[in-house]
Structure formats: C-alpha cells, structure tokens
Amino acid sequence: MRPIYLVFFSLFFAFTSCNDSGKRDKSLLPDSVGNINALQIVIPNDLWNGIVGEAIRNNFAAPVDGLPQDEPLFSMNQMPPEAFTGFARSNRLFLYVVLSEEDKVTVAKDEYAKPQTGAIIKATSEEKLVELIDKNAAKIIESFHASEIKERQRRTSISLMKSDSLRKVMGVSMQIPSAYRIAKATDSFFWMRKDLKDGTTNILVYEVPLTMIKSDSTAVGDIIKIRDSIGSKLLPVEDEGQFITEDAYAPYIFKSEIDGRFAYKTKGTWEVKDAWMGGPFINYAIRDEKNNRYLIIEGFTYAPSAAKRDLQFELESILNTAKLE
C-alpha cells in the first residue's frame, strides 16, 4: 500500500489544480517555450512517413506568401505520442494527430503550458485523417498565426523605441522595438530602420487620399502604383536606381483589419530597378474615412544572405500594433 502522505499529496494536488467550478486551474501551468513559428508535430512514426505526414507537410510547411525564396509556414519537429510528456509538452504550438475510434478536430488553448495553442486531430482511418487535415488546416494555421503574432508582440514590448513624433505628425502610434531608429521623417513620410548583421528591416508610414484606391477590383494595381511612386521618390538608393515593386511576381492581396478599420494587406517582393537588390514587403493600406485618407504602413526587409520569414513576421507583428488617432 502506498504511504498515506502520497495519498494526501495526490488529493491536495487534485483539489488545488481546480477552481471553484471544478475546472482545471490553468494559472498553475508552466510557461511555454519555443522559437517563433516552431511547430511540434505529435504523430506516430508510421503515419508521419505515409500519406498523413505528407498531408501535414503540404499544409503546415507550405511556402509563405510573398517571400523571394520558398520558406515554410512553420519549422516542424516530429515526435511519437509516447514521447510527448513532461517538458516536451511545453512547446507553444503543437499538432497532435492519431488514429482513434472517433473523427474529431479540436483546437485547444493552454492545454499543457501557457500561452499555448494546440490542434488535436483524431480519425478512424488514415484516409479520414488526411481529409480532416486538408479541411481544417486553414483554420488551425490562422489560430497558430494569431498566437505567434501575440507572442512576437510580447517580446517586442520588453524594449520599445521612445519617440512620440510618429503619433504627433502622422496620427498613428505603433509598438516599435528600441533597435529601430528614424532614418527619415517629414510632415508626410516616416522611414524607420533596424540594422542587421547583413542588411536591414524597415518600416514606412505615409498617407494618400481615399480616391487613390478606387475599388476592390483595382486595389492591387492602385497600391503598387502608390508604393512605387513613394518609394522611387523618397527612398535613396545608389546609382540613381528606383525602389519599386518587382513586376516578375504578382503580389498577394487580402482584406484585413487594423485597429478596427478596414485595410488591404498586400505581400510581395520589391527591387531596385537595374540593380541586384530586392526582398519581401508587407503593406497595409488602412481606410481612415475620418481623415479622408488611406494610411499606408509597410515593412520590408533587405537581407540577401538570410532567411526572411521570421524577419517579415516581426514586421507584421509591429504593423498590427498600429493605433490611429
């Protein structure tokens, strides 16, 4: 028989791990860990090496939109379910896929650590698992993406750039890391940049009249014209080059929202005309009817020898903190 103190300890843990409603008290969970966009895949090895693993890779390692080279949505690490114990459960993102007696998809928050987002997919056959993965991947990826944006913003908030000029001049504030500096500022244009080991990440803020973006059907063309006009005039490049949207690849455009306002979100690549320079950009055109303008906020990267997914992700997280006056 177990010593009586072990029994008392078990009962104490059971009671103290629940709140008054009988639910598990998640305030006792450990802090989650992991690099940004690191996804733990929990799946038996035989499923991972077959059609189920292929479906996971096709969806969760698909190329990120708007990057000059293919980089996956998530950096994945696979482990079998029997190894998913203890510290292994602390990863901020996980996808748990197993054969079961039921067909079910669940998105779980703070299941083993906090903050944490996990997706659990169970099915009665491999073919059904593939079907559920393909059907639910977009929703799960959206949940993972939102979770990682919040985590990236939390890390940024630890040390912020101290400047009120952007709010006073352009009527917008953002949580920008202290590593950034103002490279250029006028009464209608701000350019902030952060130096990397080999390159820079950059944030642009400017405005145009509402009439400059005419409709959904012309939005992508209108936005390209705007950013090419502003970039070619206001961003200095060597040898009289021009900072423009690369015309070899059509940008991706989505309807989005910033600070409760409608925005066009555009992702693509930029180049310096007639020069070997380029990289990815993400652009939000925020509809600000009160001030009869589109406020344009953009992040772009120049890092020729580096992976760019996480650099652009950081920029996206910064732009999403924008608050308009």
The CATH number for 120's domain is 3.30.379
Pair of tokens at residue 26: 């998640």
14 is a domain residue: no
Q: Cα separations (Å) of 91 from 34, 116, 164? A: 6, 7, 37
305 is a domain residue: yes
- Other CB atoms within a 10 A radius of the CB of residue 281 amount to 24
Residues 129 and 173 in one domain: no
Question: What's the one-letter identity of residue 158?
Answer: I
Residues 169 and 48 in one domain: no
pLDDT tens over the chain, length 325 residues: 444 444 344 433 443 445 555 566 677 899 999 999 999 999 999 999 999 999 999 999 999 999 999 999 999 999 999 999 999 999 999 999 999 999 999 999 999 999 999 999 999 999 999 999 999 999 999 999 999 999 999 999 999 999 899 999 999 999 999 999 999 999 999 999 999 999 999 999 999 999 999 999 999 999 999 999 998 888 876 656 688 888 777 899 999 999 999 999 999 999 987 777 899 999 999 999 999 999 999 999 999 989 999 999 999 999 999 999 8
- Which one of 113, 137, 156 terminates a domain? 156
3 state DSSP class of 37: coil
3 is a domain residue: no
Residues 185 and 262 in one domain: yes
- Residues 236, 253: contact at Cβ < 8 Å? no
pLDDT at 243: 84
pLDDT at 259: 97
Question: What's the one-letter identity of residue 195?
Answer: D
Q: Cα separations (Å) of 239 from 2, 24, 125, 243, 304? A: 81, 64, 61, 12, 19
Going by C-alpha positions, the residue among 316, 279, 324, 311 that lies closest to residue 298 is 316
C-alpha atoms less than 13 angstroms from C-alpha of 63 in its C-beta half-sphere = 6
What is the radius of gyration, based on Cα positions, of the chain?
Answer: 23
Residues 130 and 277 in one domain: no
pLDDT at 196: 95
9 is a domain residue: no
Enter the pTM of the model.
Answer: 0.89
Residues 132 and 78 in one domain: yes
Euclidean distance between the first and the last CA atom of the chain, given in angstroms as a whole number: 68
- Which one of 156, 177, 207 terminates a domain? 156
- Which one of 106, 136, 156 terminates a domain? 156
Q: Where are the alpha helices (DSSP H) in 215-308?
A: 219-234
- Residues 262, 232: contact at Cβ < 8 Å? no
243 is a domain residue: yes
| Residue 248 belongs to domain with CATH number | 3.40.1000.10
11 is a domain residue: no
Give the C-alpha separation, 151 to 313, whole Å: 11
Q: Where are the alpha helices (DSSP H) in the chain?
A: 4-16, 45-48, 51-60, 126-156, 165-170, 219-234, 309-319
Residues 214 and 133 in one domain: no
Residues 197 and 222 in one domain: yes
| Residue range of the domain that includes 280 | 165-324
13 is a domain residue: no
Residues 140 and 228 in one domain: no
Pair of tokens at residue 134: 């393909």
278 is a domain residue: yes
Q: Number of folded domains in the chain?
A: 2
Residues 302 and 264 in one domain: yes
Question: 88 CB contacts (<8 Å, ≥6 apart)?
Answer: 40, 79
Give the C-alpha separation, 23 to 175, whole Å: 36
Residues 192 and 287 in one domain: yes
Residues 184 and 316 in one domain: yes
Residues 108 and 199 in one domain: no
pLDDT at 297: 98
